[in-house]
Amino acid sequence: VADQRDLANEAALAAMARHALHDEELVAGYAANGLESEAEIAQARVLVDRCTVCRDLHRDIAAIGSALAVEGTFTTKAPRDFRLTVEDAHLLGGRVVTRGFLASLRRSLAGLARPIGGTMATFGLIGLLVGSAALSGGGATGALSGAAPTSAPAELQAGGTQPGPKSSTTDTAFGPMATVESTRAGAGGDRDLTAVRGTNPALWLLGGSVALLLVGIGLLLVARRRARGTDDSS
């Protein structure tokens, strides 16, 4: 028995001596399936097959790997509450209240976007129709009797000048150009200026209506997009 024991010890010592030259990291990599090169894998396999110490190492490291994988299933509670206070948020960004205010303002405006947008678009459309009718139907001054100054006929009577080509110029000219044309009118300037003033409301009404319509449609689109986003999130 003693001889057998000695032989076993000698064999173990010999194995240890041989193992001293072996690359343990290679065996560890092999156990973790972390080797990529075929040569390294083959070398590690030879070590594990032929060296008992390497074989034990391989087995142990694989077992530790399995135990580590189970570690991820253990849970623990955070020892304190990590929620940020308003003071923290101020220190970190300094804009939390402002941003919160802006956010709530944006949400409130988003809620109003549909009614306001609808109203604006409606008024824009009406304005556009009225403006177009005013321009197309018998000249701006005549058609816009409600909106334009009523002094035009009286002035025509007072000046005694027949409306001629100059007045047609004022029908088509707009803004500064119309003013230039009217100042060129000489003696009939007063009457022409009045005519220009009479034309402006129709054109301004048209321009304003188009702007109103576009803004209204924009607001409606924003409200629709917002509503879709809310539907998606809910």
Task: Give the tokens for residue 185.
Answer: 């009118």
Does 61 help bind other proteins (rule: CB under 8 A)? yes
Window of 11-19, 94-102, 128-136, 180-188 that interacts with other proteins by CB under 8 A? 94-102
Does 81 help bind other proteins (rule: CB under 8 A)? yes
Window of 11-19, 84-92, 135-143, 150-158 that interacts with other proteins by CB under 8 A? 84-92
**How far is Cα 234 from Cα 227, in angstroms, rounded to an integer?**
11
Residue type present at position 115: P
Does 77 help bind other proteins (rule: CB under 8 A)? yes
Cβ pair 35, 29 in contact under 8 A: yes
Does 176 help bind other proteins (rule: CB under 8 A)? no
Q: Given the complex with other proteins, which of 3 and 231 has the nearer CB atom?
A: 231
Give the 3-state secondary structure of residue 137. Answer: coil
Ranges within 11-40 binding other proteins (CB under 8 A): 24-25, 28-29, 31-32, 34
Residue type present at position 21: L
**How far is Cα 42 from Cα 201, in angstroms, rounded to an integer?**
93
66 Cβ contact list (under 8 Å, min separation 6)? none
Tell which one of 7, 14, 60, 119 touches other proteins (CB under 8 A): 60
Angle, helix 189-233 to helix 96-136, in steps of 10 degrees = 130
By CB under 8 A, name the binding residues for other proteins.
24-25, 28-29, 31-32, 34, 57, 59-61, 63-84, 86, 88-89, 92-93, 95-103, 106, 229, 232-233
